[in-house]
Amino acid sequence: MKRITLCADDYGMHPGVSEAILELAGRGRIQATSCMVTGSDWQNQARSLTSVQDNVDIGLHLNLTEGKGLSPSFRDGFPSLNQVLIKSHLHMLDKTALFDEISIQYQNFLDATGRAPDFIDGHQHIHHLPMVRNALIGVLQHYKPEPSFWIRSVIPMIRQGGGLKSYIIENSGGKSLLYELINQSISTNTSFAGIYSLEPDADYPALMKSWLSDSYDRGLIMCHPGKTSGQTQLDHPEARQKEFDYLSGQQFIDDCHQTGVDLCRMKQ
């Protein structure tokens, strides 16, 4: 059987998201979760992670594009994703501001949980963008995480359901980050899946079964579950609810068995 890690993003973003992730982690349906320390629900939910920390990898979901940051440069709000994409590739971002914001988010995770993150990924995959990835490596050189620490890579990508979105994500810095991780001897996943439209009419069970089938041994699949039906203030509430319903049901377990998948933590 091949070993796959299912990672739920956005812990701390919203109570319904955090609650869903804790439930799935407690039932062994996910093996990792990445935490948005800039999220409105983070301070309320950080300590709740102690109940599942023996079951899942707990990481930092680095955010530079949504809401407000923690450092002086971004306290009034982050730029849009499009702005960060353009400025990062033109090398027009402020290196010091990036380093400070990433450092403060890392330190906030440490302070709130009492432990270092098992891994780091990025909200909207910003961690692999030019300048951002260099700042991130610089922060890690300062904090010196354990040898088991890993960073999410989107290369090679399982494209089923991803469409044009998957190509944009891959080519915005995914390959360069992977080369840097190899050069720095930082662990990472062997394949990546989970990108789709997040539209309510998407056939999520069929997509997940294809991702499970096509992923490599030690591959990573991201997901965005939530108990969020009717939450109009949150992005993609119907898709999040649909993901939670599937992942908490028997069909998901059956699909894992049928595709020869053993769900396990990346650190194992």
- How high does pLDDT run on average in the chain? 96
Share of the chain above pLDDT 70, in %: 100
C-alpha–C-alpha distance, residues 198 and 202, integer Å: 7
Statement: residue 130 has pLDDT above 90? yes
Q: What is the pLDDT of residue 219?
A: 98
The 10s digit of each residue's pLDDT in 198-256 is 999 999 999 999 999 999 999 999 999 999 877 778 889 999 999 999 999 999 999 99
Decide: residue 37, CB within 10 A, 0-12 exposed, 13-18 middle, 19+ buried: buried
Statement: residue 131 has pLDDT above 80? yes
The 10s digit of each residue's pLDDT in 105-116 is 999 999 999 999
What are the chain's domains?
2-263 (3.20.20.370)
User: Looking at this protein, which amino acid is placed at residue 233?
Assistant: Q
The 10s digit of each residue's pLDDT in 34-58 is 999 999 999 999 999 999 999 999 9
Q: What is the pLDDT of residue 231?
A: 79
Share of the chain above pLDDT 90, in %: 96
C-alpha–C-alpha distance, residues 106 and 54, integer Å: 21
C-alpha–C-alpha distance, residues 149 and 116, integer Å: 9
Q: For 133-157, what is the mean pLDDT?
A: 97
Q: Contact 4/215 with Cβ under 8 angstroms?
A: yes
The 10s digit of each residue's pLDDT in 171-191 is 999 999 999 999 999 999 999
Q: What is the pLDDT of residue 256?
A: 98
